[in-house]
């Protein structure tokens, strides 16, 4: 009944949390197995995570020449929906051996259906991975996820534009959002260009602000909505409105408009996870004119740091036939192979969460596009400072509720009233 109640609550929110049939042990008919040495994987990006799995396959084949992977390209949303359906039936038919799950969504499954996932505690040295990635992929002291890419974020800036305003990169390093806004006003006055842009229906910027201070939409238990009285969330909303009101931040509608803004030079920068790097480098004519600086911290929040995260995912092994091969594959490569992580960053541009790899030459290599800045080493340094946060299982449900409050606030509503009303709505829908 607990799983059914949770299911109905999530459906009512338009969420994608997994919903069970009440059985503690699924019937294990087995997934789509095509041979003892072949495993199936669900992932969603041919140029990023799928490319990483294929590279890892070649490394594992050095000692296991008969090993093969069969990767199904499937969107994260479709993957989540299929798992919901199969888990709810109590079956395992049609499941892959390995599934990649976005970190914000992982607890949806781990808290409701831990029996479908193979614990990795004996296959991973958690001390070798970024702390905040371990936090989001474990539950009740058991490690379930193999941390994959870090979503460590940075502020990408066009050097020529900020220099036109008489500023240098050092002016933007290790600052607060208030200082960032002051600098942005100078850039806007000198060049007419905003520093950043935001999609008003996407609160990724707010997430990054809160994460830099160790706060989230929920209390530390990951369950209780924490809107009213949340100092980091309130400061984040105030800072976003400040940036919009000053013109330092403009708006865009959707992914393509965001890319067009900074690729064309109409916007002087972009704040995103490091996975945006290939999109920045897509405009080859701007090579040498870009740099990355740490994300500003929240001025009034004790413990806030100049480091945060956006996105990222972890690898999970499902408890079906073939799990032994899947465990060997991820433990052998993703769990400890430094050479793999070095090649991954050189060929795919993916920053892994495996800390020992950061000592390799690939992470220290200067990047000509970024005026020979060793951006991957910088990202790794920032990643190690990111606070651990319990995302819980309701991140997107809470963000949907908060987004309307954000729109009300920037359009003139009283912030304290917005936070009180949003808290009440969240409590009614999630409790």
16-65, pLDDT tens digit by residue?
333 443 445 555 554 444 445 899 999 999 989 999 999 999 999 999 99
Q: Which two tokens stand for residue 298?
A: 């929240």
pLDDT tens by residue, 373-399: 999 999 999 999 999 999 998 999 999
Residue 18 has a pLDDT of 38
Same topology, domains 38-151+311-357 and 152-309+388-430? Answer is yes
pLDDT (0 to 100) of residue 304: 98
3-state secondary structure of 27: coil
Q: Hey, what's the torsion of the CAs at 206, 210, 211, 216, to 10 degrees?
A: -100
Q: What is the domain partition of the chain in residue ranges? A: 38-151+311-357, 152-309+388-430
DSSP sequence for 80-131? HHHHHHHHHHT--TT--SEEEEETTTHHHHHTT-GGGB---GGG--GGGB-H
φ/ψ of 237, rounded to 5, equals -65, -40
At residue 349 the predicted structure's pLDDT band, cuts being 50, 70 and 90, is confident
Residue 10 has pLDDT above 80, yes or no: no
pLDDT on residue 26: 56
What is the structure's pLDDT at 33? Answer: 43
**Which pLDDT belongs to residue 331?**
98
pLDDT at 34: 42
CATH number of 152-309+388-430: 3.40.190.10
**Helix, strand, coil fractions of the chain, as percent rounded to 5:** 45, 15, 40
pLDDT of residue 103: 94
Q: What is the DSSP string of 333-389?
A: TTTT-HHHHHHHHHHT---BSBGGGGGSHHHH--BGGGTTB-HHHHHHHHHTTPPP-
91-102 average pLDDT score: 96
- C-alpha 140/C-alpha 142 separation (Å) is 6
Measured CA distances, 350 to 149, 172, 255 (Å): 6, 25, 20
Q: How far is the CA of 54 from the CAs of 5, 43, 137, in angstroms? A: 40, 11, 23
This prediction's pTM: 0.86
Confidence of residue 431 (pLDDT cuts 50, 70, 90): confident
Q: What is the pLDDT of residue 5?
A: 39
The mean pLDDT value for 62-71 works out to 97
Residue 344: its pLDDT value, please?
Answer: 95
Q: What is the CATH number of domain 38-151+311-357?
A: 3.40.190.10
**Token pair of 338 as six digits:** 């430094």
Distance CA 296, CA 286 (A): 24
């Amino acid at each position: 009944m607990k799983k059914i109640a949770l299911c109905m609550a999530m459906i009512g929110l338009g969420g994608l949390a997994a919903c069970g049939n009440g059985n503690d042990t699924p019937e294990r008919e087995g997934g789509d197995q095509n041979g003892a040495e072949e495993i199936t994987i669900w992932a969603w990006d041919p140029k990023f995570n799928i490319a990483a799995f294929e590279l890892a396959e070649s490394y594992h084949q050095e000692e296991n020449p008969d090993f093969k992977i069969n990767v199904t390209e499937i969107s994260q949303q479709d993957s989540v929906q299929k798992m919901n359906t199969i888990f709810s039936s109590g079956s395992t038919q049609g499941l892959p051996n390995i599934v990649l799950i976005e970190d914000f969504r992982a607890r949806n499954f781990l808290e409701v259906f831990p029996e479908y996932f193979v614990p990795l505690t004996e296959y991973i040295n958690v001390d070798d991975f970024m702390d905040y990635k371990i936090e989001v992929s474990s539950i009740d002291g058991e490690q379930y996820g193999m941390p994959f890419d870090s979503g460590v974020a940075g502020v990408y800036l066009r050097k020529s534009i900020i220099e036109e305003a008489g500023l240098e990169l050092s002016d933007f390093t290790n600052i607060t959002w208030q200082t960032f806004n002051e600098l942005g006003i100078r850039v806007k006055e000198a060049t007419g260009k905003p520093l950043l842009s935001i999609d008003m229906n996407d609160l990724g910027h707010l997430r990054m602000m809160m994460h830099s201070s160790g706060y989230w939409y929920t209390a530390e238990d990951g369950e209780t909505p924490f809107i009213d009285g949340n100092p980091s969330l309130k400061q984040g909303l105030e800072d976003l409105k400040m940036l919009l009101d000053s013109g330092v931040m403009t708006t865009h509608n959707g992914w393509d408009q965001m890319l067009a803004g900074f690729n064309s030079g109409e916007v002087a920068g972009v704040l995103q996870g490091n996975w945006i790097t290939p999109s920045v480098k897509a405009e080859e004519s701007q090579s040498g004119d870009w740099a990355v600086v740490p994300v500003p911290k929240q001025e009034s929040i004790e413990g806030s740091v100049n480091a945060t995260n956006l996105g990222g995912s972890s690898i999970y092994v499902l408890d079906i036939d073939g799990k032994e091969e899947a465990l060997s594959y991820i433990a052998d490569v993703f769990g400890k192979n430094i050479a793999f992580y070095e090649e991954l960053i050189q060929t795919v541009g993916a920053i892994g969460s495996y800390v020992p790899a950061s000592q390799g030459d690939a992470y220290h290599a200067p990047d000509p596009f970024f005026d020979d800045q060793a951006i991957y080493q910088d990202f790794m340094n920032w990643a190690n400072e990111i606070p651990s946060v319990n995302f819980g299982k309701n991140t997107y449900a809470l963000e949907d509720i908060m987004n309307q409050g954000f729109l009300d606030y920037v359009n003139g509503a009283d912030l304290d009233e917005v936070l009180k009303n949003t808290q009440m709505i969240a409590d009614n829908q999630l409790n």
